[in-house]
Amino acid sequence: MAGATVLHRPIGFGSHRRLHTAKILWLTDDLPIVIEIVDSKERFDMLFPHIDQMVGQGLVTLEPVQVIKYATGESAKGK
């Protein structure tokens, strides 16, 4: 993958019409997460079967993006 970001959200509303939320005195393992992956379509097509196996319940979307700048740590050091 060229890049990925994982966002852990404190509240969400799912397909079962139930609010998933974090409470101070109640631990839960069904809080929503968002994983954003940026890569070429060809590389994503190779990754998707693995994502499909991992996501037992949830929503998977595919969105087109326009990459404005892509700089690695190495290329940023030279500036």
The predicted pLDDT at position 49 comes to 92
The predicted pLDDT at position 30 comes to 63
Q: Name the pTM for this structure.
A: 0.61
* DSSP H or E run through 76: helix 73-77
CA distance 2 to 48: 14
CA separation (Å) from 78 to 68, 69, 72? 19, 16, 10
Ordered mean pLDDT values, 10 residues apiece, the chain (79 residues): 80 69 58 82 90 84 85 64
The predicted pLDDT at position 54 comes to 86
Q: Report the candidate in 40, 46, 35, 43 with the shortest Cα–Cα distance to residue 65.
A: 40
Helices (H), 18-66: 41-54
